[in-house]
Structure 1
Amino acid sequence: MTETPHLNQKFEQLEKAKQIPQNSVPKIQRVAHYLRDRKHFAKHYSPRLVSIGPIHHGAKNLQLGEKYKLMWAAKYLKRKKQDARALYETIASNIKRLKELFAEDVIEAFPDDEKLSWMLLVDGCALLQILEKGKLDYPEEMNVKVDQLVLLWQDVLLLENQIPYEVLKLLSGPKNDANLLNSMKEFLRCHHLSPDKPKQGAGKQDTAKEKTKDEDSKSTEGHNLQGESTAEITLEEDTPQGEQSEHRVEIIQEPIHLLDQLRRSVLKEPQKRHLDDQNTSEKFDIITYRNIQELRTVGIKLMTNKSHILTDISFSYHWLHLCAELKLPQITVDDTIAPTFLNLIAYEMCPDFKNNFEICSFVAFMDSLIDHPDDVKELRSSGVLLNVLGSDEEVAKLFNTISTDLVPDTEIYSHVRGQIEKHYRNKCRTWLTLGYHTYFSNPWAIIAFHAAVLAIVLTFIQAWFAIHPARDG
């Protein structure tokens, strides 16, 4: 066989392909085409007001956002007393390593490093201003109307609108990791999925305190542009007077970007496999229950989990196994629920992001419980779903739609599914729990039950005396 130069080149490409190293962290990239191409879904992946990063930079429908970003970047630089030229030089001197945090097709429109460095400077400073001052209660801090601020909140949490955390670290200054991470957490605390809700009564006093927050916090940093970033934060522990104080160094794993931080906050700790539950409970290859209505018919009661963490789902018994409860985290369903879940799902399905598909698994689990509007009604009645989207039918359709084409990790909730299935198939236990919920689930049911028992007793006594009348003397 005669090998041509073209064929030799192909063999060389094949040989080099096996030497391509795996990414240590997921890169900034586009939503996979098989997700974006789904009907009615594409709009949830694109920004409507502001582009952050290179993917949607320069889009015609986002020109107003370009003006806003310049204004916000200027406000940030003035507020922090930072020199724009010095920060630009910092980005430019690290641009070679920063480019490795983006997929190649994402920055191919930026062949000039100067253009890319300028975009990262403006977008990064604008995002830092958004994180610290983009509060819905005070839109005047950003010089925009509240409706635009709502759009901005949605835009900065899109997968294709992310900027690496490493860029934000360079722009926020040395020894400022703790403040940067705290500003991201505070920003996300107002998100409807956040388990850490803002304290009631927080107002302009809290906003004023933020002005001195940067000077009060101190930290030491350690990072690697090529790998997973960490921050060493020194905390001074309270000790009795006269005793030497100790310092505790806490290693904090830093996020990849803002969307990654949102995912971490709603999951909190990595999902454990509940090996004890899996080993002690039966495993079922086929799940026979279909939705919440069927679970209700066998006496399973829905409860709200106080933690609000998506992976915190449990099934348990109370009152001598007479009361079966399925605990679910509370979720607010509004106009932002679809883009939030879809972008979190798209992030988990990025080919270079190693994870256990916790968000995909949660959405698939909720979809398995919701088939009809009546299922949504039960979730509302139990306080699990706070529906501000519209009708129950819309919510049911939403979960059935966003769960399309998901590949969840079946092991994450297998212990819960197994316990529910075991209860569902146990007819004796089903009758007991159903009787408990029918006659003892609320005060009126208990009163009605006792009234019925009393009526039966009185009827029996009346019949007894009718058959055996009392005799005088």
Structure 2
Amino acid sequence: MAGVEHVISMEQTLSRKVERTEAGETSGGHDQPVIATEASEKLSIAVHEKVCTSPLGQRFKKLRDAGANQAETRPKIQKVVFLLREQTNFQKYYEPRVVSLGPIHHGKSKYQLAENYKLRLAQAFVSDSGKSDEYIYGQIEKNIEQLKEYFDEEVIEKYDNETLAWMLFVDGCAILQFIYFTVKNMFSELKVKNDQLAFAQQDLFLLENQLPYQLLKDLMKLSAKKKELKLGIRTFIDMHSMVPEKADSTTSSDKKTPIHLLDLLRTRLLGNSVDKTPSRKGPASKASKKDWQSFRNVLELNSSRNQIGAQQK
């Protein structure tokens, strides 16, 4: 606060100098008031910058930024919090087994085998789209700042825009083509083992393996098979939901774009209950907990079903 008071007192001193000049107390002409005013502005800025860059000023900035970030309502793609990481056997719900998607697990050696498959899937998507690979990539690169808003800053800070745009281009195209091949039963073309397919499908719904759904929408718009791809996603979600679709689910999904595929599956499983904010007490809260437990059980059951099916083929 002392720094602010100093700014005010200095400005008042220079302001009086201007008034005396205008009253004719000095003989420097009419240009002097302008010079004094400019000096006041420069001094004010200099002292203000000193306050902002001081250790205390930086603490206040961090405090205010925290309040601004709290106002954000859209969840972002981020790492699982450490409290969940400490839970036994919880790793399988957020860390992929076969293929990494997005920035969090990108580049890890244990996922390198799947990188070649992703490139082949991405190339197949480009071939079916009717557009060139350079054009599609260019559209992603053009929108990279918007797409970065869907990620927590921590998970993308080590990537420059070009690297991140290429990653999203390849992974996004690969996901859409993977889903298309799955619902069309066309994976024989890639000669992928059935157990790898089962784990890859599970990897698409893991917490730390998500891509912005907006990216998938942008890519579908660029493809000549837009309608087929959109229908493919709906069929793919139905394959993994194992519950009857609610009558109003289509209307609800049209109103709000999901955050990512996992969010789309969750919305499909829970229906309108995801749009409600129950109180912490009473039957509504118990129902909400029951819905989340059902959601988790469905994922576990579906994963087991995929693995058993793969072993039998």
TM-score, L = length of structure 1: 0.45
The answer to whether the 8 A contact 1:165-1:256 is kept is yes
Task: Give runs of aligned pairs for residues 70-469 of structure 1, distance below 5 A.
Answer: 70-110=119-159, 112-135=160-183, 138-173=186-221, 179-191=228-240, 193-196=242-245, 251-270=254-273, 360-362=289-291
Shift, 1:15, TM fit: 3.5
Query: Matched residue pairs, number?
Result: 243
Q: CA contact under 8 A between 2:183 and 2:235: conserved in structure 1?
A: no
Give 1 or 2: higher strand fraction.
Answer: 1
Q: Distance in 2 between matches of 1:68 and 1:251?
A: 32
Q: Which has the higher contact order (CA 8 A, sep 6+)?
A: 2
Q: Structure 1, unaligned stretches of length 5 or more?
A: 197-230, 233-249, 276-282, 286-310, 312-355, 368-385, 390-473
Please say if residues 195 and 265 of structure 1, whose CA atoms lie closer than 8 Å, have aligned partners that are also in contact. Answer: no
For residues 388 and 16 of structure 1, the distance between their equivalents in structure 2, rounded to whole angstroms, comes to 41
Distance of aligned partners of 1:270 and 1:178 in 2 relative to their CA distance in 1, 3 Å threshold? farther
The code of the aligned residue for 1:117 comes to A
Q: Which runs of 4+ in 1 moved over 6 A?
A: 1-4, 356-359, 386-389
Normalized per residue, the structure richer in helix is: 2
Question: Could you tell me which residue of structure 2 aligns to residue 27 of structure 1?
Answer: 76
Give, as a single letter, the amino acid of the residue that structure 2 aligns with 1:31: V
Q: 1:259 to 1:80 in 2, by over 3 A?
A: same
Q: Distance in 1 between matches of 2:73 and 2:258?
A: 13
> CA offset at residue 90 of structure 1?
0.4
Residue ranges of structure 2 left out of the alignment (5+ in a row): 4-50, 305-313
1:187/1:45 CA distance change after superposition, 3 Å:
same
* CA distance, structure 1, for counterparts of residue 130 and residue 226 of structure 2: 18
Secondary structure at 2:155 match in 1: coil
Q: Percent identity?
A: 38
Query: Does residue 115 of structure 2 align to residue 47 of structure 1?
Result: no
| 1:114–1:272 CA distance, 2 compared to 1 (3 A) | closer
TM-aligned CA deviation for residue 43 of structure 1:
3.4
The one-letter amino acid paired with 2:262 is L
The TM-score, its normalising length taken from structure 2, stands at 0.66
Indicate the SS of the match to 2:69.
coil
SS in structure 2 of the partner of residue 52 of structure 1: coil
Q: Is contact 2:77–2:150 with CA below 8 Å preserved after alignment?
A: yes
1:13 aligns with 2:62: yes
d(CA) in 2 for partners of 1:145, 1:54: 26
What displacement does 1:62 show? 0.3
Superimposed CA distance per residue, residues 154-177 of structure 1 (whole angstroms, 9 cap, x where no aligned partner): 111101111111111221125987
What is residue 306 of structure 1 aligned with on the other side?
none
For 2:83 and 2:163, locate their aligned partners in 1 and report how far apart those are by CA, in whole Å: 31
